[in-house]
């Protein structure tokens, strides 16, 4: 749970008089909530409020060159994202989108270092359902614009017909299962490790836990080819490879965009594709996607600290 400050504590944090705190609540939108008649201030939202009002940032050590037709995307991979990039490059021949796989954490760090325009990420925090913002606050100096790409279904990929009758992560430890895993730093690995922790299972107790693959399709192919019985992954991979799937949750998959480059022509064209028919058709053909939030700006919801 996020830390809550009293009026006195937030005044000290902001280095202002307590009376000024009430003015900032009414006139400047200082984040606050009233509990039993007393004002309380979520520290993480106060920090965001300060960041949002900051001007005259120091220049970063490295800067992306002026936009010249190349949209650089780094982070978590996804089948629908692959199709979107391919369609974008076909539809807009004067522009090109290029993807560098780095996992969700790697995407955040690439965005922070000005190595890309867009980071793709689905990092879940704590036991709740907040995504990305706690890690953004920890990893980045400036808050990027956050646009939802899709919601997608995460779970456990298993062999066709689920011959071992795997119904949950607990079964990975109970049954004689050999698994294959995602690499550290990916959102899927973080989610899977969270589920193991909730179930009181040490990953090292499962055969193959340390046997890692980089991408979603790599996990699916390892199971399809008989190298493993199960592994964490998304439903679209199960659909594509005709595998079984044990659902865990729906997750939010976001695009993080540097605010300085948000209105570059190529970035706006790419984000615009999320509302077009071909994007909806591609999601429907793959299955396991929910586009109800796609293309919308996303904002923090008093996020917990990342693990």
pLDDT tens-place string over residues 112-132: 999 999 999 999 887 667 889
pLDDT-derived band at 175 (thresholds 50, 70, 90) equals confident
pLDDT average, residue stretch 264-270: 95
Positive or negative torsion for Cα 213, 214, 217, 218:
negative
Positive or negative torsion for Cα 211, 216, 219, 222:
negative
Q: How far is CA 141 from the centre of its chain?
A: 18
Q: How many residues does the chain have?
A: 307
Helix (H, G, I), strand (E, B) or coil at 147: strand
pLDDT-derived band at 19 (thresholds 50, 70, 90) equals confident
| Span between the terminal Cα atoms of the chain, in Å | 12
CATH of domain 70-149+253-290: 3.40.190.10
Segment 82-112, tens digit of pLDDT: 999 999 999 999 999 999 999 999 999 999 9
The 3-state secondary structure of 21-77 reads HHHHHHHHCCCCEEECCEEEEEHHHHHHHHHHCCCCCCCCCCCCCCCCCEEEEEECC
* 303 has a pLDDT exceeding 50: no
Distant-in-sequence, close-in-space partners of 123: CB < 8 Å, separation ≥ 6: 104, 105, 108, 131, 132, 134, 135, 187, 190, 306
The CATH class of the 154-250 domain is: alpha beta
Q: How far is CA 25 from the centre of its chain?
A: 31
């Amino acid at each position: 749970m996020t830390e809550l400050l009293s009026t006195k504590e937030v005044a000290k944090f902001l280095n202002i008089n307590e009376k000024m705190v009430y003015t900032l609540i009414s006139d400047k939108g200082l984040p606050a909530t009233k509990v039993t008649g007393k004002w309380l201030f979520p520290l993480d939202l106060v920090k965001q409020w300060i960041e949002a009002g900051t001007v005259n940032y120091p220049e970063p050590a490295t800067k992306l060159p002026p936009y010249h037709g190349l949209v650089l995307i780094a982070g978590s991979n996804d089948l629908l994202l692959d199709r979107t990039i391919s369609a974008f490059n076909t539809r807009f021949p004067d522009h090109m989108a290029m993807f560098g796989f780095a996992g969700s954490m790697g995407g955040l760090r690439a965005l922070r270092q000005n190595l890309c325009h867009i980071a793709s990420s689905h990092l879940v925090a704590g036991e709740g359902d907040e995504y990305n913002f706690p890690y953004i606050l920890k990893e980045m100096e400036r808050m990027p614009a956050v646009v939802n790409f899709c919601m997608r279904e995460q779970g456990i990929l298993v062999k066709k017909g689920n011959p071992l009758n795997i119904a949950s992560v607990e079964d990975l430890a109970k049954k004689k299962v050999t698994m294959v895993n995602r690499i550290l730093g990916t959102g899927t690995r973080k989610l899977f490790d969270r589920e193991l922790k909730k179930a009181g299972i040490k990953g090292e107790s499962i055969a193959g836990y340390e046997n890692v693959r980089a991408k979603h399709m790599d996990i699916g192919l390892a199971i399809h080819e008989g190298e493993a019985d199960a592994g964490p992954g998304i439903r679209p991979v199960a659909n594509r490879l005709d595998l079984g799937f044990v659902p865990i949750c729906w997750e939010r998959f976001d695009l993080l965009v540097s605010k300085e480059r948000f209105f570059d022509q190529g970035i706006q064209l790419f984000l615009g594709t999320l509302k077009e028919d071909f994007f909806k058709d591609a999601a429907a053909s793959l299955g396991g996607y929910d586009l109800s939030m796609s293309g919308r700006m996303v904002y923090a919801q008093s996020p917990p600290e990342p693990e």
